[in-house]
Amino acid sequence: MIDVDYQRPLTSFVEEVAANYDPAMVGTLIVSGRKNGKWPVIDGQTRLEAMRRNDEPAAPCLVYEALTREQEAELFADLQTKRRGMATYLRFRAALVAKRPEAVAIAGIVQAAGFELDVNETAHTVKSIAALEYAYRRDPELLASVLAVIAQAWPDPDTELRTVGDLIRGLAVFLGREKRVDHDKLVARLSAVTPRMIRHRANALMEGSGHGSGGRAGYMADAILGIYMRGKRGGA
């Protein structure tokens, strides 16, 4: 059963979980064994509802006995705020081991550009996975172009922030938005600044615009455009 006094209401996400139900992904529900014979779900109500909709007869449970109702609520709150989810990079490594097509394709593009991205982590491994996925999902060739610009503008793998997520996203927006970019000119002008300088320019643009709807990647793209068009040397 669900104790609605401390549980949050189900969201539409349950529709997705139920439609794509996979018994192997259910995991373990956390429930409380009350003395009155009721079994309130502390963690896992969305999964439980998906199981019910798929006529699953039983669920694996971790049972806490002799909790007061207040302790149940406290545990629920702790699970929502203190439990750490899997880091994106670790999730991607698992996808690589599983040979999921997108992960394998992204790793191939990254490695072809001269960067490191493999199951075995090194000091120069690209960890901005969400940004890589962002560019790849817009266009695999766009991701290849972004990484080529970075590799040529800042060939030293120890260059600070050269593979940071907002730079990758910003270059992806810039290259996707500007259709007639001279690659050599872009590389030459970016090489005259540092990734940190580009970030500073983007911050200044954000502050000047009052944090509008452009988004962080958009401001990074605008900063890159300014460098590309003006070709100024030095910092922001």
pLDDT (tens digit per residue) in 81-133: 777 666 788 788 888 888 889 999 999 999 999 999 877 777 788 989 999 99
Residue 236 confidence (pLDDT): 41
Residue 210 confidence (pLDDT): 60
3-class secondary structure, 125: strand
pLDDT (tens digit per residue) in 47-89: 999 999 999 999 899 999 999 998 999 898 888 777 766 678 8
Q: What is the DSSP string of 13-64?
A: HHHHHHHT--GGG---EEEEE-TTS---EEE-HHHHHHHHHTT-----EEEE
CA angle 50, 52, 58 (to 5 degrees): 110
Residue 233 confidence (pLDDT): 47
Matching residue, tokens 């030293």: 156
pLDDT (tens digit per residue) in 139-170: 999 999 999 999 999 999 999 999 999 999 99
Q: Is pLDDT at 29 greater than 60 in this prediction?
A: yes
Residue 129: exposure state from Cβ atoms within 10 A (0-12, 13-18, ≥19):
buried
3-class secondary structure, 99: coil
Residue 234 confidence (pLDDT): 46
Higher pLDDT pick, 8 / 82: 8
pLDDT (tens digit per residue) in 179-231: 899 999 999 999 999 999 999 999 999 888 765 556 889 999 999 999 999 84
Residue 68: exposure state from Cβ atoms within 10 A (0-12, 13-18, ≥19):
exposed
